[in-house]
Structure 1
């Protein structure tokens, strides 16, 4: 049966389709993951600005909601000294507060010539106005202002008092001051300014209303405090809690341009509240900066996808490798059966022919009887040797037997083998050198098979004019070292790891027939079985050296 008819079927089409599908899915997964991360970063870029905004204006909110209301604790009895202490603490802790105007206010129903806000019988006017600010040496400076020095002071004061008087008209016995009333009446927010007047008790508000509408009310005077803080939003400290998203965050006038007019920039903004409303927080990042963040987040995802892809490709490779190995194994088994059949067929055919000749001959001479007997004996020995070799290999490989070790003199072991070489291969130039001090403790039958196989290979795989073999036997502290050196065709280094495998045959002109690929595998199994090691070193077209390392036996010197 031809080998081509028994060819191992390998369908790589499905495997190739699997690899292509996995690769396409890998590319699509990468693109999809990249797009998802891009969208996620884009969404986060637009959403996290609120967190940055809240953190950045937190100091202003604390100033507005917690620090300013402390003015009411004094109930109008702040003087210039205490006001200076209060303002000094505010300005030094809040860099965005540039200055503060302190109004020391009196509320009365007396007939006074003081100028202020008069409604019916009620007069509200500032006794003094003090401007607090830091000079160039960072010292707090207090400057007394006169009403005649500027219209700005009158406008701020008048605006606040008009709201206050309008609120007094609505006060009654059931009035309670809600948060909405407090922010609407006692706060005034203008661009860059926060004005605040201390909050009186409801009972005081009822008295003020009575003073305002009754001409018969007793004349009384009440003290109040009003502060006007000038704030600069551009001095608010930006707290960029997302530095991986925002390359630059600025406080800009709300009417200012946008970097989004430039290409390759991401930009978003948030308007600032209340007294900061003329300004905005503008967030901007270059595409290069954003892509670094996208790549940073994409990297672990891409690594995970790549690992899965590599695992799938590795599985495909293992399937391919398994198919190739099975194909080689199939061919090796086929060659083994084919060569084994040939090895058995030749002696069987000779035996059959000899038997037929004996059976058909009427009379056999003594010489013919001896010839046919010798032929039958030789061919039977070949069959027996081949079967013993196969059986021994199987037993050694399965470790179903134990080595029959015995102590033997090295020269006594080697000489019969070397003498047989000269008789069997008279055309081969053979030399040897033995230099040992200890006896061997080995299974002589198995080791003899190894020697014979390596000698046969040295003869078989050599050109006619290069049939040479040198056997060198030495020992060191641990091992006997036996080297078989020939000048044959050599072995390619790529095949060093394969020549000791079962059924493996080196392809060359000397190995077309008559080998079942068990010789060197048999040698390795025997040497390993006896606790030794076999090595090969070869140069093509120059020769090969097989080295056997056999463990030393008991330290008993030769006599």
Structure 2
């Protein structure tokens, strides 16, 4: 049996060690894969998230281009320098990337102009030109008037949009209404760091402009047009870093910018700015250590999830193993129980059969022999009856099939009766007892007697021949009856203390060689629980054991 147990232990230990090693390898491998995935993910994010940074950073420009510029058309060409100045002030306040605005107060005529565009009978030129900006001196606001040109050349901004206007009017289909997007794109001109915008005329005015190209109209009409050229500074764009833990530095650089340090200790990426800022780019740079922090912040939750997963797997495996182990132990306990129970029944039955055969085969028996055989039959019958009663009582108590009787007993008389019956049965058993704090209390005498009998029998069975001593004390302590059964027996190993009250459990020692059902102490535990008490044990190997029982006191 010890070799089988040792072999089983070795097999289980090897299986557990193999399983733990496999789980550890898979766990480490999972962490490595998770870290690699986190690294690739963050590196891809470093490249892709720049689009979001660009969209957020140029959102003010998009608002300016799509909402603010069209407001020029609301004035229908009748902007003057004062109104234009107030309009520009709001632009400079709301959009810091606008550095300067040049305002062309212009006219469309049916007669030639000296400055501007003349195509056919269609002429387009400025009456006056003003510039506005935070750093524009007061004496240089007016750049040009028909009366005084200030030697100012109208320049490409005006001429480029004038040509674009003339081309559009020449190709205009007057039988249909042009779309707003078509009008907007033909009345604006986007160049590097500059947007020039001309207010959009009414469709009737556009039709008149088309006729003006072909012939003189009477009376010769004059139409007011407002053109504004917005000078933009890309370095004034406010960069919105939507991923501050990913991008350490973001700056605006020319497209030709090429960093000197291209070592692997830095991550870099770039994206070109749109529209009038297309000669510039957003340049992103982060040190590897900075990006590693973001990688770890992404990796740790994954690692925690992996840890939880493998913990659950190990816990499930442990529970399965424990359940199988418990089932195996229960099977062994039940197997031992059946063997021991068979032995317990077989021994008195065999003795009864032998005594019966001797009586039947004997030709004549003396009175002494008859008394001897009668005593044997009576004792063995008592053993069978006691065993059956214990099994029946155990089952009834477990299933709550009996009721707790409440009778008043005298404690000293009760202990004396127990001592006398076991002294007659075991003359070599030495008893001592004491009762203090009370004389009588109400309890179930039958169940208490069974409890006493089992503990006394245990003390006798597991004590050496020269130390078969038992001291019983009964005391009233803080409203509880406390019984102590103290022997000088072989004791109980500390490793077995927690198992002795389990059903079918038996400690392997020389005193159990003849078999034991393993129900005695389990029966005591059930009895105490049924009587609303508690039972504990203290023991030292080769010194002795003390069972302590605490029951509620009622007198």
Offset from partner CA, 1:504-547 (integer Å, 9 cap, x none)? 01223333324221111111222223332222223334332211
Tell me if structure 1 keeps the 8 A contact 2:110–2:217: no
SS in 1 for 2:511: coil
Counterpart of 1:73 in structure 2 is: 74
Residues in 1 aligned to 2:341 and 2:217: alpha-carbon distance in whole angstroms: 140
Tell me if structure 2 keeps the 8 A contact 1:133–1:142: no
- The runs of 5 or more residues in structure 2 that have no matched partner are none
SS in 2 for 1:280: strand
Counterpart of 1:126 in structure 2 is: 126
Tell me if structure 1 keeps the 8 A contact 2:184–2:200: no
Offset from partner CA, 1:362-404 (integer Å, 9 cap, x none)? 4443333333333333333333333333333233333333344
Offset from partner CA, 1:286-316 (integer Å, 9 cap, x none)? 6666666666666666666655554454443
Counterpart of 1:253 in structure 2 is: 254
Tell me if structure 2 keeps the 8 A contact 1:129–1:145: yes
Offset from partner CA, 1:87-130 (integer Å, 9 cap, x none)? 00001000111111122234446677x54445566654434332
Residues in 1 aligned to 2:83 and 2:245: alpha-carbon distance in whole angstroms: 45
Tell me if structure 1 keeps the 8 A contact 2:253–2:282: yes
Counterpart of 1:227 in structure 2 is: 228
SS in 2 for 1:99: strand
Residues in 1 aligned to 2:112 and 2:504: alpha-carbon distance in whole angstroms: 128
Equivalent runs, 1:133-532 vs 2, <5 Å? 133-135=133-135, 143-145=141-143, 154-170=155-171, 174=175, 177-179=178-180, 182-205=183-206, 221-241=222-242, 248-257=249-258, 261-263=262-264, 267-283=268-284, 309-425=310-426, 427-437=428-438, 439-532=440-533
Offset from partner CA, 1:486-513 (integer Å, 9 cap, x none)? 2333323443332111110122333332
Tell me if structure 1 keeps the 8 A contact 2:266–2:288: yes
Residues in 2 aligned to 1:216 and 1:401: alpha-carbon distance in whole angstroms: 124
Residues in 2 aligned to 1:439 and 1:18: alpha-carbon distance in whole angstroms: 60
SS in 2 for 1:510: helix
Counterpart of 2:541 in structure 1 is: 540
CA deviation after TM superposition for structure 1 residue 149, in Å: 6.1
SS in 2 for 1:483: strand
Tell me if structure 1 keeps the 8 A contact 2:112–2:118: no
**How does the TM-score come out when normalised to structure 1?**
0.81
Gap change, CA 1:160 and 1:358, over 3 Å in 2: closer
CA deviation after TM superposition for structure 1 residue 225, in Å: 2.3
Gap change, CA 1:379 and 1:78, over 3 Å in 2: closer
Residues in 2 aligned to 1:394 and 1:134: alpha-carbon distance in whole angstroms: 101
Gap change, CA 1:217 and 1:169, over 3 Å in 2: farther
Counterpart of 1:56 in structure 2 is: 57
Gap change, CA 1:269 and 1:141, over 3 Å in 2: farther
Residues in 2 aligned to 1:309 and 1:257: alpha-carbon distance in whole angstroms: 48
Aligned residues: 549
Tell me if structure 2 keeps the 8 A contact 1:410–1:439: yes
SS in 2 for 1:401: coil
SS in 1 for 2:141: strand
Question: Bigger shift: 32-41 or 364-373?
Answer: 32-41
Residues in 1 aligned to 2:375 and 2:65: alpha-carbon distance in whole angstroms: 123
CA deviation after TM superposition for structure 1 residue 71, in Å: 1.8
CA deviation after TM superposition for structure 1 residue 215, in Å: 7.1
Tell me if structure 2 keeps the 8 A contact 1:84–1:142: no
Question: Bigger shift: 379-388 or 12-21?
Answer: 12-21
Residues in 2 aligned to 1:498 and 1:140: alpha-carbon distance in whole angstroms: 102
Offset from partner CA, 1:238-271 (integer Å, 9 cap, x none)? 3444556655544332222379944366555432
